[in-house]
Homo-oligomer: A and B are copies of this chain.
Amino acid sequence: MDLFGTAGVRGRVEERVTPELALAVGRAVAAEARARESERGGSPEDPPRVVLARDGRVSGPAIAAAMEAGLASGGATVSRAGRLPTPALAHASRGRYGVMLTASHNPPSDNGIKLFRDGVEFDRDLERAIEARVDAEEPPAAWDAWTEPDRVDVLHDYLDDVRGYAAGFEVDGDGAGNALDGLRVAVDCGNGMSAPATPAVLRELGATAVTLNGNVDGHFPGRGSKPTPETLRDLRAFVADANEGVDEPGRDGEGFAFGIGHDGDADRIVVVDADGEVVHEDTVLAILAERYVRASDAGDPVVVTTPNASGRIDERVRAAGGRVERVRLGALHEGIAAVRAAAEPAADGDAGDDTEVVFAAEPWKHVHTAFGGWIDGVCSAAVIAVLVASEGLESLREPIAERPYRKVSVDCPDGRKEPVMARLTDRLPAAFPDATVDTDHGVRLEFPDASWTLVRPSGTEPYVRVYAESDAVDELVEEVREVVASAVAEAES
């Protein structure tokens, strides 16, 4: 069973991510965890511990109960953590296992399962082991290995740690948040799990957060749970209108310095500027990436990102003295691990050890590696607020070139994706001879002026996707689309 797509286990709760599935996955996780602990010489008296949380979805309590049943009857001890943002669960999973029940920004009819070990999402190897055990219908453990759950309150510790981490970015701060000095920020929680987290952290850092949709409600009544320019229209209008005629928005108790939009489980963040416009996701990424590279003492600071992320990131990272590594979508944690592995000191004890992954991100999703190995939108909100308070959003954006961006889909039946991509590996470089080619994750062409295009098959739908960013983006997309379409047509015949 192919449980884990690029987005992890996710789908409708009546059909796909049912309590039955959660029970089976819980059983499999417990069994796999016990097997691995036992390999390491752990005592059978000490069952592995799994922190279990959920977001605010209507289906959460039932799915959580089923997951608990699976884990406990598989011999793992469950620590019930209640409702949490995903990054808070990831934080709590350090030194143990973690299960987060969330469908992130999917509609309210869905739910999903994210698995963590020691603060990092399961890698492919662990995912495959879980799939195998689910397929084999892992039986219960012996009755006397079943466990009783306990409860843990972990949100407070997480928020404390985020606050402390973000306060470290204050230029003139004393760590107690005074540098934010009442900076006003509008936060659209989208009725999701950022509600008990981001506003509290901002307050403790000294800012004033006014929230939209700050009541947790699994029906997501206020807006769609995926933050887009469209679903954030209330936030954008709220910020824009409040700032009308205000000299220094968000200072002196008037208006808002910027706005924040989160998804349902707060791993994702969208930033809105003082005019109510969404700041391009790659710009946010570039701001953070540059900052982390600059702040690093490492000889070889690395930023890990995904193929669909803009070349503007590369520009800023290079300018700051770092380098960018790309990894397939949804696998930032594997990219981090790969860079670290490659940096292992050579046999002669030399080199390598000065490589450091200082930041890893795909659009809207940021891993603050010095804070923790998980995607963390609450931490992003805190760090960005501190940076904006110190320098202003406009001066942070200023050095970053924003070029027009497009994404189109070309029809291509699933069965033909492979031959089409094989053909394109030759055809595209041939069609654009002045571009640098990278075929690690689809075919990515980068041009001398840092404009770029990426062609890759969709993992879930019958399309080949074309992404492009360029001052002349429409022309570029059209040229690429034609090459792709003719490759599809050829494969048909």
Contact = CB atoms under 8 A, between A and B. Distances in A.
Interface residues on chain A, size class: 35 or more
Interface stretch (A67-75, A316-324, A407-415, A424-432): A67-75
A458 interface: no
Given A147-B61, A153-B150, A19 B211 contact: no
Nearest to A189: B215
A458 to B, nearest CB: 26
Contacts of A200: 215, 217
A219 interface: yes
A457 B12 CA distance: 49
A371 B213 CA distance: 29
A95 interface: no
B196 A210 contact: no
Interface in A1-24: 12-14, 18-20, 22-23
B73 A108 contact: no
Given A23-B20, A66-B23, A195-B215, A108 B144 contact: yes
Interface stretch (A236-244, A374-382, A434-442, A459-467): A236-244
Given A59-B73, A62-B146, A213 B213 contact: no
Interface stretch (A31-39, A115-123, A135-143, A297-305): A135-143
Nearest to A44: B176
Contacts of A124: none
A151 B80 CA distance: 12
Interface of A: 12-14, 18-20, 22-23, 43-46, 58-63, 65-66, 68-70, 72-73, 108-109, 139-144, 146-153, 156, 160, 163, 175-176, 189, 195-196, 199-200, 203-204, 208-215, 217, 219, 221-223, 234, 237-238, 241-242
